[in-house]
Homo-oligomer: A and B are copies of this chain.
Amino acid sequence: MGTTQLDTVPEPKYWHLKTVLTDALDSEFAVGEILPNERELAARFGVARATLRQALEQLELEGRLQRRRGVGTTVAPPRVGVAVGDTEHSWPGGSGPDSWLAVDCATEAPPVAVARLLDLGEGEPVHTVRRTRCTHSQPVAAELLYVPQGNVPGLAAVDAPTGAARARAVLRELQRLELDGHDQAVELGSARAEDAKQLDRLPGSPVLVVTTRYFAEGRTAAVSVATYRADTCRLTFGDPSLPLLAS
């Protein structure tokens, strides 16, 4: 009798479930379709709801599913490609089919990690501009842009001390600088409360954190910390001269 490798490697149930569901999504479901609810699915597969949820969580992490409390679980569309490597997509002023929307502005001390990148002493206040990025009219990123006060001197005349008007004023001043180049890093994080609200997600949901340093006039002109929805986004970097990675 051919030993058909039965239980040599006892695969976890949720892992096997994930495989089964992935295949089902590929073959039997259309984008946007609603899946049966969790209690029903768990019963159908003969597992506890917590186990089923473990499989669903992974599928959501991989961008295959979208779950919304009070609504249900739907099949997610393919991830959208979001360009982050090109200057024109982040340096203020770039405006295309998808672009940034200034939300607010404050003047306060940045996190120590940001202060270090800006070569500033801890506790020194900077202009902190909050922006939202939308693609296909869906919010994909929440950003905090930190600008040392010395880099935008012409700002005293602006009457609004905070708010979107102030944010736009800071961005306008920034554009007067000639950009030398930039630096980026991507890492995994979890959404803080404010970012989560902006992204229409629950706090703690996985995000891709893109930290960008902008250089101008021989120093670091600004630092941006942008959090992208990890479930819906694929970040693209590329030679703009070359054919685009399919989005």
Contacts and interface: CB of A to CB of B under 8 A. Distances in A.
* A62, A237, A239 — most chain B CB neighbours (10 Å): A237
Interface residues of A, number: 44
Interface string A78-93: 0101000100000000
A185 B228 CA distance: 14
B185 A245 contact: yes
A54 B11 CA distance: 22
Given A62-B189, A182-B239, A186-B186, 15 more contacts: A61-B188, A61-B189, A62-B188, A62-B190, A63-B188, A81-B185, A116-B246, A181-B239, A182-B242, A183-B237, A183-B238, A186-B236, A188-B188, A208-B208, A213-B245
A182 B245 CA distance: 10
Contacts of A213: 245
A117 B190 CA distance: 31
Contact of A184 (B117, B206, B238): B238
The count of identical subunits is: 2
A183 B81 contact: no
A198 interface: no
A123 interface: no
A234 interface: yes
* A180, A182, A245 — most chain B CB neighbours (10 Å): A245
A245 B211 contact: yes
B186 A208 contact: yes
